[in-house]
A and B are shown apart, each in its own frame.
Chain A
Amino acid sequence: MKSPRSFALVGLIAGLIFGAGLVIGGMTSPAKVRGFLDFTGDWDPTLVFVMGGAVMVHFWAYRLVKPWNTPVLAPMFQIPSRKDVDAKLVLGAAIFGLGWGVGGYCPGPAVTSLPTGGVSVLAFVLAMLASSWLTGRLESRATTQTLQPTPEPPQRVPTP
């Protein structure tokens, strides 16, 4: 790490801009999110502009760094490189979408709404963190079991 302090500070600045962007874009309003997901009702296209605006800016950042070996402040890029579409990805995205539609919040706007959203938003965030943590625990246990099958208990050789 070239400069840990700057590296951490970028996190703060990025968070500030992201939080402001979510609020300005209306994403902290569950009514707006449900309005976007309500294709058969009174459809609200705002989220298309938010996601589209974000992708139009961020696409160029990827183009910029593509030839780089390292980012400015860190020893390496940590970018997902998986290409396979597996059942877990689709199942997870499907479950997430249900929760997004039911509550009107995805993780970023929920956290950003914590100071103003009252007890419901707090409960949403706590339930989200707890269930994600638990799912992660169960996942890693399942993976360990697949990779290292529990050994058979040692057979006791009857002593003559």
Chain B
Amino acid sequence: MLRGAVGGALIGLSASLLLVLNGRVTGISGILNTLLQPVAGVEWAWRALFVVGLLAGGLVAGAFLPSPDSAAIPGLPTAILAGILVGVGTRLGNGCTSGHGVCGLSRLSVRSLIATLTFIATGAVAVLAMRGLAAGGGS
């Protein structure tokens, strides 16, 4: 829980740097979407560098911590299905856990509050359904 709060504070610090210095919202799905568009110059560059930082920061922090339980990493078909749902959903809903859950809630946005409550609720339904499938499927 302490690790959770420290990690959360770092995420908040990162989003705050982007807001105060660059005037931008730290929405990961939005950053990734823009990278796939023909955006020129510095608007593309800061997003590409953000992703490079994400990978590097994760690797460095991961080197000092026990790695996550690899048994929980989904199999290939599940991963593809989940990826499709996350891609479609974040595009339609204009954001993910970072854009709505962190940045939106911090600015007390009603849209983001509704989005956050919704994706936590359907996420819970999905976890429940997956457990039901695992129990009923006998595998």
Contact = CB atoms under 8 A, between A and B. Distances in A.
A12 B93 CA distance: 26
Contacts of A102: 74, 78, 81-82, 85, 126, 130
Given A53-B7, A121-B73, A93 B100 contact: yes
A124 B119 contact: no
A8 B49 contact: yes
Give the secondary structure class of A's interface: helix
Interface string B119-139: 111111111111100000000
B73 A96 contact: no
Interface in A29-43: 29-32, 34, 37-41
A143 to B, nearest CB: 13
A99 B72 contact: no
Q: Which of A48, A50, A123 is the most central at the interface, judged by chain B CB atoms within 10 Å of its CB?
A: A50
B83 A14 contact: no
Interface in A124-151: 124-133, 135-136, 139
Which bucket holds chain A's interface residue count?
Answer: 35 or more
B46 A10 contact: yes
Contacts of A72: 20-22
| Most B Cβ at <10 Å: residue of A6, A45, A71, A93 | A93
Contacts of A114: 55
A15 B93 contact: no
Given A98-B89, A128-B84, A85 B1 contact: no
A105 B109 CA distance: 24
A131 to B, nearest CB: 3
Nearest to A24: B7
B72 A23 contact: no
B107 A107 contact: no
A106 B97 CA distance: 7
Nearest to A122: B79
A26 B67 CA distance: 9
Given A22-B58, A111-B51, A11 B18 contact: yes
Given A18-B26, A111-B54, A90 B114 contact: yes
Interface of A: 1, 4, 6-32, 34, 37-41, 45-62, 64-65, 70-74, 76-80, 82-85, 88-108, 110-121, 123-133, 135-136, 139
> What are the 3 tightest A-B residue pairs by CB atom distance, in nearest-first order?
A25-B7, A15-B53, A92-B93
17 contacts: A17-B53, A18-B57, A18-B98, A24-B7, A49-B1, A53-B9, A54-B15, A55-B105, A83-B109, A88-B92, A92-B91, A100-B119, A103-B85, A124-B83, A131-B83, A136-B91, A139-B91
